[in-house]
Chain A
Amino acid sequence: MKGLNNKILEVDLNHDKFNEVPVPEEILLDYIGGRGLGVKLLSDKLPVNLNPLDPKNLLIFATGPFGGTIVPTNGRFSLVTKSPLTNGIFYSNSGGSFSVVMKRCGYDGILIQGALKEPGYLLIEGGKEIVIKEASRLWGCDTEKTFEELKKLEGNRINSLMIGPAGENLIKIAAIMNDAARAFGRGGVGAVMGSKNLKAIVVKGGDTKIDIDNLDLLKKYVKVAQDKIKVVPITRSSLPLFGTSALVNVINILGMFPINNFQKGFDERATQVSGEEINKKLTQEHEGCYACPIRCGRLTRAGDMKGKGPEYESVWALGPNLGIYDLITVTQANYLCNKYGIDTISCGGSIACAMELQEMGLLKDSSLQFGNSNILKELVKKIALKEDIGAQISEGSRLLSKSYNSEEVAMQVKGLELPAYDPRGAIGHALGYATSNRGGCHLTGYMASLEIFAAPKKIDRFTMAGKPDLLVLKQNQKAIEDSLVICAFAGWALGLDYYARFMKAITGIDYDVVKLLEIGERIYNLERIFNIKEGLSKKDDILPPRFISEPLKEGVSKGHVVPLEKMLEQYYYVRGWDINGFPEPELLKKLGIKHI
């Protein structure tokens, strides 16, 4: 397929072997690249019921036909693996420039299997060498230090994926950091990399050119797209100015900003950690990923520390969800998560769970009180190093709460801690949490775009009608966006009608919106099948009981709960799944997926 190298690099860490493997065109036509390609390869190659930390687990990084072209916001790429946190399929997405260099080195993806005997890092230098180098000196270093050391070893013009101490210690909420301050954050993917004794992956060089079918046509389409990005307020000013933290005040006013482990949905003090405050007090510079005109990233300084962010979810998870409103402490805790290589959302969500257990008198540690900011930074360190109470928290909220026979206080779905939108405030969004293939995730089918941001038009947050249908559309859309690959934020200005035209110009194949959506549907169903084989089922398409039976007590979302059961029934029907959530055979046949 044009737009791709049509090959991936397979790395066997057990035997120090590297193979260039062609990707059959029929797979690319059916799954495109990025998340779709990763999901297909993982489904085909991974044995069922494998421990995610077994060396046989795979780490698959992949880009798509947009990567490295002139399409705006194409610097993102996907990671697919089996998650130690959810025990199901996991797809994650990150930005920067790594994927562009990987593609210039000649690969659409890197598939890693096996484990090194001693810590090492993988170097891919385009046109020159692929080699495993020893990394015992780097083992134990935080991600900033690791990145510095790698630059000393391999030169400044490198891009690198790496783990920090959290990944080395195999904690279930460890992230893979991307150039030290971006992340494949969620799902404990850092522990998978740690279990392989792989400290880092470095890419550099490369001059492979991407074959574009009709560059002139692509340029015309891209010009129109860039004009649109420039005039839409969210992409023109909100995201560039405030980053994702612009959401703090908006979500708080709607009464769905989770406070103290989702016990409340509003707190006046939230403005103290808002995007406006971050911009005023911490932001030093703005920055963006490769080929991104939006540039939502911010370099910040908080007290005597500096770094990137915090993003909306991070500032919430480490702040108001713990009853903490001290912006400096929250931002520094965010920096520490990046340095240790920890997912900020799961870190905050698991600490919040511990704090509620303490509040209930079950966890005997009086320092773990909502609002106690003094312990936060030390606690992040203890989690990364599995010390004291940190060892329990590092398992994630599901296991933590289970050990106190109080699973109801773990705000998670399928083991993945929920992000910063109380589902009682937007019931379509809530259904998205329950049905996301990777667990409690807001990105898999971002219904908030309709229910909160009126994009393209507002729909009632508390009405059921049409929500399952719209959610299925959004989930399929996101699966294809993650496979092309393009940033979700481009979607505020563009959409599949643009992406179909880009694909047509790049590949020469006559794509339209419907053809792309069918590919998204195929990817989503294959992920579902993977999870079913791993034992996940309707019993896992749930929400914590708090959201079903305890209405919010104040704010403009007061009185609402989530009518999950009724929406779920419709959702399965719309998806073409039976009442137990199994895809019907005729659907799988239509999509070309082998039946279980």
Chain B
Amino acid sequence: MIVEESIYNIFKKVGKHLVRHGYNTSHSGNISIRSGGKIIIKRRAAMLGDLQLEDLVVSNLKEEDSSSLIASTELGVHRAIYLETDAMAVIHAHNPYCVALSLIEDEITCIDAEGFALYKKIPIIDVEIPAGAYYTSIEVPKMLKNYPFVVVRGHGLFAKGMTLEDALQYVTGAEQSAYIRYLTLMTGKPLKRDFSKEKDFSIW
């Protein structure tokens, strides 16, 4: 299966955005889409901010194949997400503020207007070994059945979308909400108005 140039351009754009804006380090993170019953995913150890056409690997969706020799280490998590949820694109990033808050909270409630309108809250899960495909491939899809993203405590965020850009907005939107929350927590002052409590996002 040949990757169309228009698809490569989207990977390149999204990869560059993630690195340039500090969501990932030079070689971390992974991004993929579902296409023709297969997965197009970033190659392992490729520079996310400078993807070449050959850095995109086509892997089987349902069963293991030789692409795992070169595909992202977290191919298994992406595969599990596609098989168990409605995801059409997946991004794994290391959002600093989401990760920081995940170490002190059990869920990140959105208190900013954009966050509560679009996301309401960002769930956090614990996995036994946070970095690595096996445990995350079991726990992450469960949460993505009803949420667009989930933070693995101390590790990073997995976001799904209809398209790669859609997933990117969830990554950046989650980080923005986490950042606002972090800033208000840093002041140590109570919120004048907490929309999340008014709307009772705990039910979400």
Q: Which of B19-27, B83-91, B125-133 contacts A (4 or more CB under 8 A)?
A: B83-91
CB of A375 within 8 A of chain B? no
A514 pairs with B86, CB closer than 8 A:
yes
**A459 contacts across to B, CB distance below 8 A:** 163
Q: How far is the CB of A374 from chain B (nearest CB, A)?
A: 47
**A501 contacts across to B, CB distance below 8 A:** 146, 204
Helix, strand, loop or mixed for chain B's interface?
Answer: loop
B37 pairs with A512, CB closer than 8 A:
no
B36 pairs with A457, CB closer than 8 A:
no
8 Å CB contact of A457 from B37, B117, B169, B200:
B169
CB of A535 within 8 A of chain B? no
A463 to B33, CA, bound (A): 14
**Those of A447-475 within 8 Å (CB) of chain B:** 450, 456-460, 463-466, 468-470, 473
B88 pairs with A466, CB closer than 8 A:
yes
A500 pairs with B146, CB closer than 8 A:
yes
Q: How far is the CB of B126 from chain A (nearest CB, A)?
A: 21
Give B167's nearest chain A residue, CB to CB. Answer: A457
A468 to B40, CA, bound (A): 14
A497 to B147, CA, bound (A): 7
A42 to B5, CA, bound (A): 45
Interface size class of B (residues with CB under 8 A): 20 to 34
B7 pairs with A512, CB closer than 8 A:
no
CB of A231 within 8 A of chain B? yes
**A458 contacts across to B, CB distance below 8 A:** 163, 165
Interface size class of A (residues with CB under 8 A): 20 to 34
Q: Which of B35, B165, B199 has the most CB of A within 10 A?
A: B35
A463 pairs with B86, CB closer than 8 A:
no
A500 to B199, CA, bound (A): 18
A223 pairs with B199, CB closer than 8 A:
yes
8 Å CB contact of A463 from B7, B85, B117:
B7
8 Å CB contact of A465 from B3, B117, B120, B147:
B3
**A217 contacts across to B, CB distance below 8 A:** 203
A220 pairs with B200, CB closer than 8 A:
yes
Q: How far is the CB of B37 from chain A (nearest CB, A)?
A: 4
Q: How far is the CB of B91 from chain A (nearest CB, A)?
A: 13
A457 pairs with B166, CB closer than 8 A:
yes
A–B Cβ pairs within 8 angstroms, 21 of them: A220-B199, A221-B203, A224-B204, A227-B117, A456-B161, A456-B169, A457-B169, A458-B165, A459-B163, A465-B35, A466-B33, A468-B36, A469-B36, A469-B37, A470-B88, A473-B86, A497-B147, A513-B146, A514-B84, A574-B36, A574-B37
Q: Which 5 A-B pairs have the closest CB atoms?
A: A570-B36, A457-B165, A457-B166, A512-B145, A466-B35
Interface residues of B (CB under 8 A from A): 3-4, 6-7, 33-37, 40, 84-86, 88, 117, 120, 145-148, 161-163, 165-166, 169, 199-200, 203-204
